[in-house]
Amino acid sequence: MLRSLHAYFFTFCGCFLLISCASSQPKTAAPTLQSTNKWRDLVANSPVFRQSHAGFALYDLEKQETVAEYQSDRYFVPASNTKLFTLYAGLCLLGDSIPALRYTTTGDSLIFWGTGDPNLLHPDMPSSGVFDALKNWNGHLLYYPHNYIGKRLGPGWSWGDYADYYQAELSALPLYGNVVRFTNSNVSPRIFKDSLRTAGWSDEFKLSRDEFNNSFFSTGWPTKSFTEDVPYRTSPGLNARLLADTLKREVRLIHKLRPGVSYRTLKGLPIDTLYRRMMHVSDNMFAEQVMLMCASQLDTNNIGFESKQSIDYVKKQLLMDLPDEPIWEDGSGLSRYNLFTPRSIIKLLQKIYDKVPDQQRLFGMMAVGGKAGTIKNQYKSKEPFVFAKTGSLSNVYCLSGYLKTKKGKILLFSMMNNNYIVKTAEIRREVERILTEIHEKY
């Protein structure tokens, strides 16, 4: 009897364990988009992406549905895909014209301060009218420089790039794009013409600057015509000197504004002129200043502003519906602290499209395959079919935007590549191959 009880007990325990183990096994999921989609497989099975971190999302705008995904919930360093977030912030906060300058008057004095507008005296932009307004004022010019409360460079920027054209300093009132432009026969602004010295010999001609002052130096000797921009160190005193030299009249500093002072805003260029340059040539300085202008718009009491204020506002008030929280640190994408997911970028592209439903205007802001901007030499076709923003850093290449198929459908896409060790040109060609196939066969 005891032996029978033992046998029954062990049989019961064995059955219980088998049942428990069976119930703990993961259930086999039904086939999903991820496991069967041919567009996903173009990315997932690419030998070029084999050793890199790749993510992809494709969305049909007409059907309002996701077409394909591959690691679209993973976070990637976006590089200049960040400018898509900056563009959306500007579209929501800045209106049709650039808020170029704030000012008030007292007696015969004009007191003015910057809003972040990057266009004043910029060598590649048309005159905005701000210069004429200052020059034609009949009284005293008083410049208030203390409304920008941020740092000169963004978080996560490479400190060693301080002298490279793409990393100009941040400020409330940029002048000349915050760079010195050197050519074979000219230096602009001209007050820097005696600041250049020869630092040594090299086979390669290069211009640079001392890190903490405006002493510029060259190595080597130019063998052909050149134009090179080197950022200068900004300061209130230097801004006043630059304005005085260009306006041909005295500009004095004022270090305090009356609390609650009423002011007016001088409007500048149409906002799209700024967006097109920012998106076409991936102008980092313009992108950073867009976020500063957004912060300035929020700073209605002139307490002081910095980019973090506008980034936090847009995240909390305008981007709460993204699938994944954006880790967003600057306006340009120079920061490697930025992290976005492909599926969040798809949602952002939807929001941008809703904000600018005029395709001609929207696509005109983007780099256009075969026609304009950073993808001018790719996606060549009789009719452009890619309208997008590139993003490039060392070991980072991303492309996100709008794709028009041969059947006329509009697709949203985001392709993000990080941590590759092959040449960027190889990654770029593979992205082009995949998007071209989708264009032709979707």
In the predicted structure, residue 278 carries a pLDDT above the cut 60:
yes
Q: Is pLDDT above 70 for 174?
A: yes
* Parallel/antiparallel/unpaired status of strands 216-219 and 187-188: unpaired
Give the tens place of pLDDT for each residue, 37-84: 899 999 999 999 999 999 999 999 999 999 999 999 999 999 999 999
- Pairing of the two strands 252-253 and 264-270: unpaired
Per-residue pLDDT tens for 97-154? 999 999 999 999 999 999 999 999 999 999 989 999 999 999 999 999 999 999 999 9
Q: How confident is the model at residue 203 (pLDDT cuts 50, 70, 90)?
A: confident
- Mean pLDDT value of segment 256-260: 86
What pLDDT is recorded for position 198? 86
Phi and psi at 64, nearest 5°, equal: 55, 50
State whether CATH 3.90.550.10 applies to domain 33-78+339-441.
no
Residue 278 Cα distances to 331, 365, 374, 424, angstroms: 11, 9, 11, 22
Beta carbons within 8 Å of 422's beta carbon, 6+ residues apart: 48, 51, 52
Distance CA 428, CA 418 (A): 12
CB neighbours of 393 closer than 8 A, spacing ≥ 6?
77, 79, 333, 334, 336
Q: Looking at residue 36, what is its pLDDT?
A: 59
What pLDDT is stored for residue 128 in this prediction? 85
Residue with tokens 């600041």, as numbered in its chain: 195
Q: CA 178, 184, 190 angle in degrees (round to 5)?
A: 40
For residue 260, the model assigns a pLDDT of 82
Return the structure tokens found at 269: 């260029």
Residue partners of 138: CB distance under 8 A and separation at least 6 = 108
Residue 244 tokens, joined: 């005085």
pLDDT tens profile 280-310: 999 999 999 999 999 999 999 999 999 999 9
Confidence (pTM): 0.90
Q: Distance between terminal CA atoms of the chain?
A: 74
For 306-361, write each residue's pLDDT tens digit.
999 999 999 999 999 999 999 999 999 999 999 999 999 999 999 999 999 999 99
- pLDDT at res. 45: 96
Q: What pLDDT score does 11 carry?
A: 44
What's the residue count for the chain?
442
Give the 3-state secondary structure of the chain.
Answer: CHHHHHHHHHHHHHHHHHHHHHHHCCCCCCCCHHHHCHHHHHHHCCCCCCCCEEEEEEEECCCCEEEEEECCCCCECCHHHHHHHHHHHHHHHCCCEEEEEEEEEECCEEEEEECCCCCCCCCCCCCCCHHHHHHCCCCEEEECCCCECCCCCCCCCCHHHCCCCCCCCCCCCCCHHHEEEEECCCEECHHHCCCEEEEECCCCCEEEECCCCCCEEEECCCCCCCEEEEECCCCHHHHHHHHHHHHCCCCEECCCCCCCCCCEEEEEEEHHHHHHHHHHCCCHHHHHHHHHHHHHHHCCCCCCECHHHHHHHHHHHHCCCCCCCCECCCCCCCCCCCEECHHHHHHHHHHHHHHCCCHHHHHHHCEECCCEHHHCCCCCCCCCCEEEEEEEECCEEEEEEEEECCCCCEEEEEEEEECCCCCHHHHHHHHHHHHHHHHHHC
Q: What is the CA radius of gyration of the chain?
A: 27
Buried-exposed string 96-107: b where 16+ CB fall within 10 A, e elsewhere: ebbbbbbbbeee
Residue ranges per structural domain of the chain: 33-78+339-441, 86-309
Residue-wise pLDDT for 3-50, tens only, equals: 443 444 444 444 443 334 333 333 434 444 444 589 999 999 999 999
